Amino acid sequence: MTWPRATSRSSRRRPPFPARSRRQCILAGVLTGFLDHPVPLAFAHRGGAAHAPENSWRAFEHAVRLGYEYIETDVQATADGVLIAFHDRTLDRVTGQPGRVGRMTRKDLAGARVGGTEPIPVLEDVLAAWPDVRFNIDLKDTPAVEPLAGVLRRTNAWDRVCVVSFSASRLRAARRALGRPVCMAASPLGTAMVRLGTSLAGAGVQCLQVPVPVATSSFIRRAHRLGLQVHVWTVNDRPTMQALLDRGADGIMTDDTVALRDVLVGREQWHPRVAG
């Protein structure tokens, strides 16, 4: 992702919502299994881009081998409605080739290589490859909304995805298209409302995903009072990871998956994936 409470070191499980907010969330129909995991959550950002080309099979595989339960990825839709794990609207930066993803078919993209070596993954294939891994999915453009609903139906992955976007209107469109409760993170507008102390009840939001400067101790406390988890991105240095965990951050997204794992192991807060 890119965007213009002190705790003990125990591995004690904490419910994803404060008790007084849980009933409200259930009544809103938005409580899903995505966040049903001991915190802090460790997210492999774009699969762990410090160790392999971003959003590539090799990056995802590396994160899974390390024990990551949560993988963050981005999706774009091709001209023929196939969702690919890819951040940019164009191929240039990541593959060195020209072309706009939304104007190309899956077949057109078959020869493109991320970092010069890795084929571009199809989201549906990634979800099928690891049916016990949870995916944080960033909708990068509106054409990805309808295909995402189809992918989740075919893979039955409703309870192991969180849908995020910097566009509030895109999130609303996704909520309509999905047609059933799925974990969603707040848009920047929703995050601003929380900073002002406004509840997001009824918005279908379960978490806030914010850059480091937003994740102050007071912001995290305010979010917790409103029944929301706080996940922070993109954190690649160990001192900042430690500081955020001390403040009570519920999750950290990192490119350096080895560093975050080591920090959490040292704090006795590493909760590795257990294969189903």
Q: Which of 45, 62, 231, 271 is catalytic?
A: 45
DSSP annotation string for 211-236 = EGGG--HHHHHHHHHTT-EEEEE---
- Give dist(CA 206, CA 124) in Å, integer: 24
Q: Which of 51, 62, 87, 231 is catalytic?
A: 87
The answer for residues whose C-beta is within 8 angstroms of residue 241's C-beta and 6 or more apart is 235, 252, 254, 259, 260, 263
Active site residue 45: yes
Using DSSP's 3-state secondary structure scheme, residue 66 falls into helix
Q: Is the dihedral of CA 200, 203, 208, 209 positive or negative?
A: negative
Q: Which residues of 94-123 are buried (b: 16+ CB within 10 A; e: fewer)?
A: bbeeeeebeebeeeebeebbbeeebebbbb
Say how far residue 188 (Cα) sits from the centre of its chain: 15
Q: Whats the size of the chain, residue-wise?
A: 276
| Structural element, H or E, at residue 190 | helix 188-195
Question: Which residue's structure tokens are 């704090």?
Answer: 267
The yes-or-no answer on residue 62 being catalytic is: no
Q: Answer for the pair 101, 78: CB distance below 8 angstroms, yes or no.
A: yes
Token reading at 142: 């509106």
- Contact at 8 Å (CB) between 105 and 79? yes
User: What count of Cα atoms within 13 Å lies in the side-chain half-sphere of residue 164?
Assistant: 23
Active site residues: 45, 87
